[in-house]
């Protein structure tokens, strides 16, 4: 990367373009993970708790209002998700009536290759039965696979007041952990709780945090984003999976819900405008490609910046308008970031050593000039 005092040595047109890469990078690195080795995410809970609606809204772009017409799930439904090299797993949607104590139930084959178990609780219903089912499910799953990550979605909170949301979360958190302590598993099992609704972006943020725990390269991705942000004077950056709007990584600053929603909406705007105006005569082409980019100026002197990383990954940034005066610097730093992401794909494929990615990226990074020095 370069800093502001070096910018005069370059012309923006000389380093502002994004280089093209081979097919493996443009395809998102999807051939890195063999088909048979996909991690499983299990979606469980009582009947009518909203499991199928979550899956349809997040991964199939179904409108939340359309989920009202979904029929109750009567059998296990498997959905393979292969959006990018980082988002590769299979989601198993389980009917609420499955009995884990049935001797014919094959717990080993189900929980064996499971990365995360998401248990959905309807916050608008009596959740005592759901908590009992949660406890039974967690204990059975842990016996088979101690490495499973247990996630609890306190769902349908859109109909609750803010005070009721907090009280419901505290009560469910307390009761669920008390059950774990009674079983003697408090040192082994860690439950994570999320307030979710399909009518806002909370379900996407919750799924983002679940998926991030399953990405081995998460620390490297966060490191790369932190370097890019600090050297470009960017306030917040997300690396998005464009298809699902799950963010696979972000920088170390706390995630603000309004900021995340703003970045999600920007992805929708870019894709919608590209579908209308950007396809031309090639109707079979993708609305999001290696030339996709957008800059949106808001009325509060804030800039939204979207840049394509691969066919299914985009970097969405928020920065102050005065800092975007050095747009050529941002373009160059993004090129360095994109090169580093390609190296991460190469590490997954075993073509280079993992330690080289951050080291090479740091070699290009220089501390930006502070405002008082300019």
| Residue range 297-311, pLDDT digits in tens | 998 889 999 998 988
- Considering only 6-15, 212-221, 236-245, which range has the smallest mean pLDDT? 6-15
Contact assessment for residue 173 and residue 167, using Cβ atoms and an 8 Å cutoff: no
**Average of pLDDT values for 269-273?**
86
Residue 186 DSSP symbol: T
**Average of pLDDT values for 166-174?**
96
pTM of the model: 0.81
Helix (H, G, I), strand (E, B) or coil at 329: helix
35-212 CATH pick, 3.40.50.300, 3.40.250.10, 3.40.50.2300, 3.40.1280.10: 3.40.50.300
Fold annotation for 4-31+216-373: Beta-Lactamase (3.30.450)
β-pairing, 114-122 vs 149-155, is: parallel
Which position has the token pair 């999600």?
264
Angstrom CA distances, 26 to 31, 47, 354, stand at 12, 41, 20
> pLDDT-derived band of residue 175, with 50, 70 and 90 as boundaries?
very high
Domain boundaries, the chain: 4-31+216-373, 35-212
Per the prediction, the chain carries an average pLDDT of 80
With CA atoms as reference, report the closest residue to 79 among 67, 90, 94, 95. 90
**Distance (Å, whole) CA 44 – CA 77:** 11
With CA atoms as reference, report the closest residue to 156 among 194, 189, 118. 194
Termini Cα distance of the chain: 19
Angstrom CA distances, 15 to 178, 305, 334, 362, stand at 58, 17, 10, 19
**Distance (Å, whole) CA 106 – CA 100:** 9
Helix (H, G, I), strand (E, B) or coil at 289: coil
Statement: residue 231 has pLDDT above 50: yes
**Average of pLDDT values for 9-37?**
35
Q: Count the Cβ atoms, other than its own, within 10 Å of residue 360.
A: 15
pLDDT at 108: 81
With CA atoms as reference, report the closest residue to 59 among 111, 127, 118, 124. 118
- Considering only 82-91, 117-126, 233-242, 253-262, which range has the smallest mean pLDDT? 82-91
Contact assessment for residue 238 and residue 248, using Cβ atoms and an 8 Å cutoff: no
> pLDDT-derived band of residue 361, with 50, 70 and 90 as boundaries?
low
pLDDT at 281: 57
> pLDDT-derived band of residue 86, with 50, 70 and 90 as boundaries?
confident
**Distance (Å, whole) CA 42 – CA 137:** 11
**Distance (Å, whole) CA 365 – CA 346:** 21
């Amino acid at each position: 990367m370069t800093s502001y005092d070096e910018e005069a040595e370059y012309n923006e047109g000389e380093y502002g373009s994004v280089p093209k890469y081979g097919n493996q990078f443009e395809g998102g690195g999807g051939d890195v993970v063999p088909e048979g080795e996909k991690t499983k995410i299990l979606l469980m809970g009582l009947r009518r708790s909203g499991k199928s609606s979550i899956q349809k809204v997040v991964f199939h772009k179904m409108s939340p209002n359309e989920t009202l017409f979904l029929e109750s799930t009567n059998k296990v439904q498997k959905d393979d998700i292969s959006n990018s090299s980082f988002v590769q797993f299979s989601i198993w949607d389980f009917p609420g009536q499955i009995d884990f104590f049935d001797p014919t139930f094959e717990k080993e084959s189900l929980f064996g290759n499971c990365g995360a178990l998401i248990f959905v609780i309807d916050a608008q219903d009596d959740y005592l039965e759901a908590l009992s089912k949660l406890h039974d499910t967690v204990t059975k799953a842990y016996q088979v696979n101690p490495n499973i990550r247990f996630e609890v979605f306190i769902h349908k909170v859109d109909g609750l007041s803010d005070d009721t949301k907090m009280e419901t979360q505290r009560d469910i958190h307390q009761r669920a952990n008390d059950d774990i302590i009674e079983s003697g598993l408090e040192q082994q099992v860690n439950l994570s709780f999320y307030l979710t609704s399909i009518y806002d972006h909370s379900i996407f943020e919750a799924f983002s945090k679940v998926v991030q725990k399953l990405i081995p390269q998460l620390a490297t991705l966060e490191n790369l984003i932190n370097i890019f942000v600090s050297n470009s004077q960017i306030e917040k950056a997300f690396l998005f999976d464009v298809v699902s709007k799950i963010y696979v990584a972000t920088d170390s600053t706390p995630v603000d819900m309004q900021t995340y929603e703003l970045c999600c909406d920007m992805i929708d705007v870019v894709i919608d405008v590209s579908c209308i105006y950007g396809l031309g005569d090639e109707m079979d082409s993708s609305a999001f490609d290696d030339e996709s980019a957008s800059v949106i100026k808001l009325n509060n002197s804030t800039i939204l910046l979207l840049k394509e990383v691969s066919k299914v990954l985009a970097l969405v940034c928020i920065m102050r308008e005065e800092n975007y005066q050095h747009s050529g610097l941002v373009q160059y730093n993004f090129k360095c970031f994109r090169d580093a992401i390609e190296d991460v794909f190469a590490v997954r494929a075993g073509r280079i050593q993992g330690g080289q990615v951050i080291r090479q990226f740091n070699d290009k990074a220089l501390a930006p000039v502070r405002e008082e020095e300019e």
